[in-house]
Structure 1
Amino acid sequence: MAAEADDPPRTVLELRLRERSQTLAEFVVEAERFARTFGEAGTLSVRHLQRLISGRKPNGSPVGRPRPATARLLERMLGLPIDDLLASPGAARGRVESDDELRQRLSAARRVNGDVLVLLRDQLTSMRRLDRQLGAATAHEEVVTKIRQVSGLRSHSLAPGIRNQLGALLAELGTLAGWQKLDMGSVGESWQFYEDAKAAARESDDVAFQVHCSAEQAFVLIDVGETSSAVELLRAAERTAERGTGRLLRSWLAAAHGEALAADGQRSASLRAFDRAAALLPAEASAVDGPYVVLDPVHLARWRGHALARIGESDAVEVLSTALSSLDPTFTRAETALRVDLATAFLALGEREEGRVHAERARALAAEIGSARQQRRITLLVGPAN
């Protein structure tokens, strides 16, 4: 049984389970599925989980660390070291550094210069490539580790210019982790990553990073059915971005707004938003300083096709098919989502065989990259796998 919601959480592990709105039994089932999917040897029972979240054995003595395989399973699922998960929420927030630790961390932060920042950004680029091709299940743990590293450097940096750049980098890492958790089906953890990313973006002193973090968080709202709130959030982001941000980001924001409007059933407004995105999209891709967004004519067509399929437009198949034929094959998660959209569009036209082919290919891809989000869409569309 789950702990009473009115009682304060005894451990960070208990807090995380509450954020996921899962009973202990539900989490144990998910853990078993996760272990099978990703080759983890760890196991959990409801009784063991009860002890871990309480921090105490039945005799009242402190619970020990779980065996390494179980610790790794929990760490991969929840994105925190096992020691942090078993700590009380207050202890996890309030641990005080020793004098020597503080001096060491201040010294490390002083060594962050332009070359180090370039290295950290290159590492983020590599993580993005892994993520888009192999999925969050492979890349998320590395991203969380890098968040902890960059957060520590930023917290101990005394140089305003460097600290601002570390804030921007941390915002980028946070949005990537938030999107990964959304794809993995953990909306509560996704929301928190975006909250942390927004806080880091404010320290970057760049409005572009701030509106980008807020806009990405809107997709969590869409996934939990808060579509009108997502529309309002993205409308505000577009207004804020009108001054002081580049055309590429403004085009991306318009497309994101269009997707939210489609989810909210606002057909005409959605189509106008996509027209606005196409008008703003720069003719040539170029290196830009600012938040990372993936948008070109192919990806914009993919987004528009998603909206068209959602609102039941007959030309969704043509738009999506053209986008699929031009999509970079390394964008595995994008292909997965696109094929779910194609299945949706074909089924709406009564072309069941074509719809089934795309749905089954999407199901296979979603299983390969661990996309719970797309697996859920496929199940709602055509039912569970045979």
Structure 2
Amino acid sequence: MLLRRADILGVPAMSPTSLKTKLSRWENGREAVSEPYQRLFRDVYGRTNEELGFPPERVDEGTDELRARLAAARTVDTETVSAFRQQLDYARHVDRKFGGVTLLDQLRGNAEHIQGRLGFSTLRGQREALATVLTEVSALAGWEALDRNAIRQAWDHHETAKAAAREAGSPTLLAHATAQQAFILIEIQETEMAVSQLAEARELAERSAPPLLRAWLAAAHGEGLSVAGHGDDALRAFDTADALLPPDPVDPALPFLFLGGVHLDRWRGSALSKLGDPEAIDQIGNTLPRLPPDFVRARTGMLVDLAFAHAAAGDRDTALDHARQARRLATQIKSDRQLRRLGRLILPAGATNAT
């Protein structure tokens, strides 16, 4: 923890091995804690020098710390931002394939690191570049937190993403973070509030956002409407998404969006399942074999949707089979969100759960 804070604050620190030795000497009283490390202990524990048993702080401590943070922020260059983005791209790949069980703490640390640089950057272009990466990192961290059922943490990450998008001057990123945050409202059953927020996100993107994002936002709105039981409006939103989807649904500026190929089809199938529409069975069943193998999280959600669709149709055995497959995958990727959904599944013919 001390070394992470040192990196964020731009405070020079010794190696982990040397620090372990120093900690032992400090704890045994054989050596006084030096001033740079007093600063780190204050930052980590949120206590004053007096509360920690250190000598009183120097009067100019605030000035020294500010200068250190400004100096650390000045080290940010194009290569630094590129390194942050490479870490983010790798995290997205791992998330799709293995879930976020190993990612959430890493993403939180990256977000803190970027915020530490952004908060003390004085260069205009540098601030926008850092804010753009912070938006994407925080949005992914928020999605991971939601999947792990850390609801408040998910909300706070999205608030950070929205604030960073405003700092970056990006209505596109702001619209995406606003829409994604609405799924937290769906998770806590504030569905009408979620529908309103999704509509707001579409308005944010109406003028300047690329067609791919506008299509994604329409589909997201469609899912929210389906959860709220507004079937006709939901299907119209998906028709709009289909009409907006560009022929080449890959945008290097929007690496977090997947809507081409099977993805819009599976999303529509999910909405049909939530509406209790029997067409969901064919829609999802025909799409599932075409899903790329590395989209394990998406596959898990589709199997859950299929379990609900077959249960609604009265097919206990098929619903139970899909629920068991979904539970295995959800357990594998530690998706508490999908496991919670499965816990709400009511099977026909007297079955009570999907175990």
Fold conserved (TM > 0.5)? yes
Query: Structure 1: any 5+ residue segments left out of the alignment?
Result: 1-81
Contact 1:208 1:290 in 2 (8 A): no
CA RMSD of the aligned region, Å? 2.5
Tell me how far 1:252 sits from its aligned partner: 0.4
Deviation at 1:291, TM superposition (A): 6.8
Post-superposition shift, 1:287? 3.4
1:325 equivalent in structure 2? 289
Aligned to 1:268: 232
Q: Quote the offset at 1:87 in angstroms.
A: 4.6
Change (3 A) 1:97 1:137: farther
- 1:112 corresponds to: 76
Amino acid corresponding to residue 222 of structure 2 in structure 1: G
Q: Distance in 2 between matches of 1:384 and 1:106?
A: 56
- The equivalent position to 1:145 in structure 2, one of 103, 109, 114, is 109
Residue in structure 2 matching 1:171, options 123, 135, 146: 135
What is residue 54 of structure 2 aligned with on the other side?
Answer: none
2-structure distance, mates of 1:142, 1:233: 29
Listed one character per residue, the Cα deviations across residues 295-349 of structure 1 (whole Å, up to 9, x for unaligned) are 2131111110010001111111111112211111111111111100011111111
Determine the structure 1 residue equivalent to 2:208. Answer: 244
Match of 2:279 among 315, 320, 326: 315
Partner residue of 2:148 out of 184, 201, 209: 184
- Is 1:249–1:293's contact at 8 Å kept on the other side of the alignment? yes
Deviation at 1:117, TM superposition (A): 1.5
Deviations 1:7-60, CA, capped at 9 Å, x for gaps: xxxxxxxxxxxxxxxxxxxxxxxxxxxxxxxxxxxxxxxxxxxxxxxxxxxxxx
Which of 173, 185, 196 is residue 232 of structure 1 equivalent to? 196
Q: How far did residue 136 of structure 1 move?
A: 1.8
How far is the alpha carbon of 1:115 from its aligned partner?
A: 2.2
Distance in 2 (CA, whole Å) between partners of 1:122 and 1:285 is: 22
- Pairs aligned (count): 302
Q: 1:210 aligns with which of 163, 170, 174?
A: 174
User: What are the residue-to-residue correspondences of 1:1-386 with 2, within 5 Å?
Assistant: 87=46, 98-290=62-254, 292-382=256-346, 383=352, 386=355
Check whether the contact 2:179–2:217 (CA below 8 A) recurs between aligned residues. Answer: yes
Which amino acid is the alignment partner of residue 117 of structure 2? L
Distance 1:291-1:214 versus aligned 2 partners, 3 A rule: farther
Query: Any conservation in 2 of the 1:178–1:193 contact (CA below 8 Å)?
Result: yes
Distance 1:355 1:86, change over 3 A: farther
Counterpart residue identity of residue 127, structure 1 = A
- Mapped contact 1:208–1:291 kept (Cα < 8 A): no
Please tell me whether Structure 1 or Structure 2 has the larger radius of gyration of its CA atoms.
2
